[in-house]
């Protein structure tokens, strides 16, 4: 697990979120401008939604581990809403030293949430499975609630 750093994990999800935004924009262009197909919106919209949720979960884990302030955490989460803003936030966070090359969470950390991140990092295979289940569950909930207005 040592090769997966807070910096590399966050960067990977920030870039993926931006790529899926681009795909969704292409899909919307095909649907609304060229009026050729709406299949791309369905496919890319689902992919973007899944990556959006994954980005949010990773942002919370990295924010807790790297000791971000609540304001920076909210800013990191909000960066997923405008297209490509995750790339801007990732560059900002990297310049400010908010994305370390080491995980900071330890079993003796003073707060339960930091100890929970430490537990996830120590049990990374189980954590990956829990991540998939959480993304699937949140995606399913979003589908039940319906698209944004």
Nearest-angstrom CA–CA distance, 123 and 136: 20
For the chain, 149 residues long, give each residue's pLDDT as a single digit of tens.
458 999 999 999 999 999 999 999 999 999 999 999 999 999 999 999 999 999 999 999 999 999 999 999 999 999 999 999 999 999 999 999 999 999 999 999 889 999 999 999 999 899 999 999 999 999 999 889 987 66
Specify burial of residue 82 (Cβ count, 10 A radius: 0-12, 13-18, 19+).
exposed
pLDDT at site 149: 66
Alpha helices in the chain (DSSP H): 6-28, 39-65, 70-78, 85-95, 112-122, 124-145
DSSP string, 63-101: HHHTT--HHHHHHHHHTTSSTTHHHHHHHHHHHTT-S-S
In contact, 41 and 24? CB cutoff 8 Å: yes
Name the pTM for this structure: 0.92
Half-sphere exposure in the Cβ direction for 86 (13 Å, CA): 26
pLDDT at site 146: 84
pLDDT at site 28: 95
pLDDT at site 1: 44
Q: Which two tokens stand for residue 107?
A: 């079993």
Nearest-angstrom CA–CA distance, 23 and 104: 35
């Amino acid at each position: 697990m040592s090769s997966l750093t807070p910096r590399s994990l966050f960067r990977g999800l920030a870039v993926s979120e931006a790529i899926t935004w681009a795909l969704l924009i292409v899909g919307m262009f095909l649907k609304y401008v060229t009026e050729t197909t709406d299949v791309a919106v369905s496919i890319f919209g689902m992919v973007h939604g899944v990556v959006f949720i994954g980005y949010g979960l990773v942002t919370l884990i990295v924010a807790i581990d790297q000791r971000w302030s609540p304001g920076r955490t909210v800013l990191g989460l909000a960066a997923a809403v405008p297209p490509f803003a995750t790339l801007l936030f990732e560059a900002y966070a990297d310049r400010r030293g908010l994305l370390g090359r080491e995980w900071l969470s330890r079993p003796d950390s003073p707060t339960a949430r930091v100890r929970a991140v430490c537990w996830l990092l120590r049990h990374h295979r189980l954590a990956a499975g829990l991540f998939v289940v959480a993304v699937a569950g949140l995606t399913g909930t979003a589908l039940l609630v319906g698209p944004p207005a």
